[in-house]
Structure 1
Amino acid sequence: MARFSANLGFLWHDVPLPDAIRAAAAAGFDAVECHWPYDVPAKDVAAALAETGLSMLGLNTRRGDLDAGENGVAALPNREHDARAFIDEAITYAVAIKAANIHVMAGFATGQAAHDCFIANLNYACTAAAPHDITILIEPLNHYDAPGYFLDSTTQAASIIAEVGAPNLKLMFDCYHIQRLEGNLTTKLSDLLPIIGHIQFAAVPDRGAPDHGEIHYPHIYAHLASIGYTAPLGAEYKPDGATDTSLAWLHNA
């Protein structure tokens, strides 16, 4: 039977993060994850996690200059200082709330210099995270939602993971993004299983609740069970209205 994590970047995003954690527990989720929790004191998040018994699966490094439209800086040449400051900040916060994973966001870039920069920053992140048993994740984003994002295929991600060669560098496999980029989800999940660190999902193409659209998620859940994947799956979708009214899929899974 599949287990699920509530992504609190989208679900219950309209309430304070500690209250969103409590809402996820009340709804029956097995874990939680978030995007950028840094404006909330880590002690408040840790207290809500302890109260509910939920674990925080992961968080993202900061995006950078939002006014300039940045979406991560780890692959941006000449931004190494910012990238490593964001990595250090994420590790400190993750340790405080016992989060298992950190998604290091690459940003909008292209070319060999961007590749080399990303590799160097990932080496830094993996080395810094290893003593805390934290896994570093990288995630391909689709070019409809994030045109120009540096990491845009599972092939590229697998090559980068192999090049870095760190045991705590893994792939964040977001079914929504990969379906829009490449399709063929069940085969890709099987082939990439050894390097997958976390799986997320949402309906395609509208990124809504996983009960409609191109992907029949009960088939995906069953396939993941058949290949031995048992970790909670991250519900990273945008509810059409209140989160609580979007959860029929969870109670029927």
Structure 2
Amino acid sequence: MTAFSANLGFLWTDRLLPDAIHAAKAAGFDAVECHWPFDVDPADVAAALQETGLPMLGLNTRRGDVAGGENGLAALPGREDEARAAIDEALDYATRIGAGAVHVMAGFAEGHEARDTFIKALHHACEGAAKRDLVILIEPLNRFDAPGYFLGTTDLAAEIIAEVAAPNLRLMFDCYHVGRTEGDVIGRLRALYPLIGHIQFASVPDRGAPDHGDLGYAGVFAEIAALGWSQPLGAEYKPGGPTEDTLGWMRTLG
């Protein structure tokens, strides 16, 4: 039976994070993950996780100036100090709540200088994470939702993982992003499986629940299981209404 993680950056966003964790437990999820929990006292998050018994799989580094359109700092030349501070903050928060991974967000940038900046930031992140027994994740975002995002393809992500060569640097494989930009989600899963640290999903192309759209998740989930994956898969979709009204897929696909 497939295990699922509720991404609380999209699901139950009408509730405070501790309450959303309890809602995920009540709905039958096996784990939770989040985006930017930093305005919530980590003690309250840790208490909710302990009360529900759900593991927190991961969280993201801050995006930077959100009002100004930023979506990550780690690949931005000239912003190295801010990027390192964001990484250190995320590592500390993850440690305090017992999360397993931190997703380092690259941001909008391009070129060799951005690549070098990102790689240096990842070295910093991996070194800090190793001291805390944490995993660092990087995630390619599709060019339709995030045009200009530095990490735009799984091929580039694989190149950077090889160049950094840290055992705790892994790929966050989002079936939605890969489906939108690269297609052949199952083929990419097979090719990249040794690099993957977490898998997420949503319908293609509207990023809704996985029970509709161009990507057949019954086959995708079966392939993931056949590859040997046993960790919860991250439900990172936009519910478009009350989350509880969109969970029928857990019965049909799980």
TM-score by length of 1: 0.99
Partner of 2:74 in structure 1? Answer: 74
Deviation at 1:187, TM superposition (A): 1.3
Partner of 1:115 in structure 2? Answer: 115
Alignment of 1:85-124 (within 5 A): 85-124=85-124
Alignment of 1:95-174 (within 5 A): 95-174=95-174
Structure 2: tracts of 5 or more residues without a match: none
Taking the aligned partners of 2:10 and 2:187, their CA distance within structure 1 comes to 28
What do residues 103-149 of structure 1 show as CA deviations (whole Å, max 9, x unaligned)?
A: 00000000000000000000000000101111000000001000000
Taking the aligned partners of 1:29 and 1:238, their CA distance within structure 2 comes to 16
Amino acid at match of 1:119: I
Amino acid at match of 1:100: G
Partner of 1:42 in structure 2? Answer: 42
Q: CA RMSD in A?
A: 0.5
Taking the aligned partners of 2:149 and 2:240, their CA distance within structure 1 comes to 26
Runs of 4+, deviation exceeding 2 Å? none
User: What is the total number of aligned residue pairs between the two structures?
Assistant: 253
| Larger mean Cα displacement after TM superposition, 164-173 or 182-191 | 182-191
Taking the aligned partners of 1:76 and 1:135, their CA distance within structure 2 comes to 22
Does the residue aligned with 1:67 lie in a helix, a strand or coil? coil
Does the residue aligned with 1:124 lie in a helix, a strand or coil? helix
What do residues 68-118 of structure 1 show as CA deviations (whole Å, max 9, x unaligned)?
A: 100001000010000000000000000001100100000000000000000
Partner of 1:61 in structure 2? Answer: 61
Deviation at 1:190, TM superposition (A): 1.1
1:221 aligns with 2:221: yes
TM-score by length of 2: 0.99
Taking the aligned partners of 2:18 and 2:7, their CA distance within structure 1 comes to 13
Amino acid at match of 1:86: A
Taking the aligned partners of 1:12 and 1:73, their CA distance within structure 2 comes to 27
Structure 1: tracts of 5 or more residues without a match: none
Alignment of 1:165-184 (within 5 A): 165-184=165-184
Partner of 2:52 in structure 1? Answer: 52
1:187 aligns with 2:187: yes
Partner of 1:21 in structure 2? Answer: 21
Taking the aligned partners of 1:150 and 1:2, their CA distance within structure 2 comes to 32
Taking the aligned partners of 1:230 and 1:217, their CA distance within structure 2 comes to 16
Partner of 1:241 in structure 2? Answer: 241
Taking the aligned partners of 1:16 and 1:126, their CA distance within structure 2 comes to 30
Deviation at 1:251, TM superposition (A): 2.1
Does the residue aligned with 1:66 lie in a helix, a strand or coil? coil
Does the residue aligned with 2:90 lie in a helix, a strand or coil? helix
